[in-house]
Copies of this chain bind each other. A is one copy, B any other.
Amino acid sequence: MAEDAPPIRFGILGCAEVARKVSRAITLSPNTTLYAVGSRSLDKATKFAASNGFPPHAKVYGSYEGVIEDPEVDAVYVPLPTSLHVQWAVLAAQKKKHLLLEKPVALNVHDLHKILEACESNGLQYMDATMWMHHPRTTQMFHFLSDPQQFGHLQSVHATSTYTASPYFLENDIRVKHGGKCPLMVLTGSVPGVKPDLDALGALGDTGWYCVRAILWASKYELPKSATALHKPTYNDAGVILACAASLSWEDDKVATFYCSFLTNVSMDIIVMGTKGSLRVHDYIIPNQEKEAKFSTSSNSNWVELSIGWAPNPSDNVFYNDLPQEA
């Protein structure tokens, strides 16, 4: 986009917690601006706009339709529950809005294909909101993994993504409720006394999403031949995954493993091992600090005489960035 092009005007569907972080990012980014927000509750949308840096002229709607029908909106950010993505993303695309979709982007690949097709047939940009992919550190790490002398061929990846969800979350959050069985109830939310679920992928969708992305990224998006759940996942009473491990493998003996969980202290590790080098990062999803991020690499290491130390030792690579990764 040219330097002097007008900024892209974003409309936001819903007032999810994560939308606060993305609103800040849209404001920080030099080529985007907050333009509209819609919620089923006009009051909620008004409060959201007031407390998240929306400019005075921003539009506030008491519906999602209001946002996607506003002709001034260039792009729509969709932080709605996953099961609602396909419906609203396709509608927004039909109204010629570019799409930024919160992860997980869809409950299944069929829904994702529908969304992508809607974007393609309307000539629109599609992006998922996996923020770490946009950190300059990620580019540098990918550069290391692509270096035949420093890294060689990929052999193994391990990724983690976990956090300790609060008791309240484990009882109430849509990410631990089951609802795939009753789409009508899901869409209308009309059954009294029942909180229908909207995001039944659980920890696999919320945190495993990052692990799978990290693994595919490290394999340069070469799809694995097989994916296998390890042992049995931990489920809640509604049958939603709270923690699980899995392995992916490729034709050429590359193998990856990951662990994702709502029941484990925060972790976000990637260990990538190649024939000649290896890379470690322990805060790939959210850097420990916003403006400084590091990763560690090791290349062509061996043991010194008598195996009492390494040479060369692994080294840290530190990055300083003005804009956070989500901007």
Interface residues of chain A, those whose CB is within 8 Å of chain B, are: 18, 20-21, 24, 152, 155-156, 158, 160, 162-164, 226, 228, 230-234, 243, 245, 247, 249, 253, 255, 257, 259, 261, 263-267, 269, 271, 273-278, 280, 282-283, 286-290, 296, 298-303, 306-310, 313-314, 324
CB–CB A309/B282 < 8 A: no
**Supplied contacts A158-B160, A162-B273, 17 more A-B pairs, CB within 8 Å:** A21-B307, A24-B306, A155-B263, A155-B264, A156-B245, A158-B158, A164-B275, A228-B230, A264-B273, A265-B277, A266-B278, A266-B298, A266-B301, A267-B273, A282-B314, A286-B309, A308-B324
Interface of A is mostly: strand
Q: Which residues of B contact A231 (CB under 8 A)?
A: 226, 247, 249, 253, 255
Closest Cβ of chain B to A261, distance in Å, is: 6
In-complex Cβ contact of A264 among B156, B164, B264 (8 A): B156
CA distance A301 to B306 in the complex (A): 39
Nearest-Cβ distance from residue A21 to partner chain B, whole angstroms: 5
> Which residues of chain B have C-beta atoms less than 8 A from A158's C-beta?
158, 160, 257, 259, 271
Q: Which residues of B contact A243 (CB under 8 A)?
A: 155, 253
Contact A156 B261 (CB under 8 A): yes
Q: Does the CB pair A314–B302 fall under 8 Å?
A: no
List the B side residues contacting A257 at CB < 8 Å: 158, 230, 245, 247, 257, 259
In the complex, the count of this chain's copies comes to: 2
Residues of B within 8 A of A276 (CB): 164, 265
In the complex, A190 Cα to B299 Cα: how many Å?
41
The minimal Cβ–Cβ distance linking A85 to chain B, given in whole angstroms, is 20
Contact B155 A302 (CB under 8 A): no
Are A280 and B269 also in contact (CB < 8 A) when A245-B255, A257-B257, A307-B21 are? yes
Closest 6 CB pairs of A and B: A231-B249, A257-B257, A266-B301, A245-B255, A230-B247, A156-B259
| Known A-B contacts A253-B243, A275-B164; A310 and B266 likewise in contact (beta carbons under 8 Å) | yes
Query: Contact between B303 and A286 (Cβ–Cβ < 8 Å)?
Result: yes
Residues A306 and B275 in contact, CB atoms below 8 Å apart = no
The residue from B21, B245, B290 contacting A247, defined by CB atoms under 8 A apart? B245
A152, A156, A267: most-surrounded residue (chain B CB, <10 A): A156
Residues of B within 8 A of A245 (CB): 156, 247, 255, 257
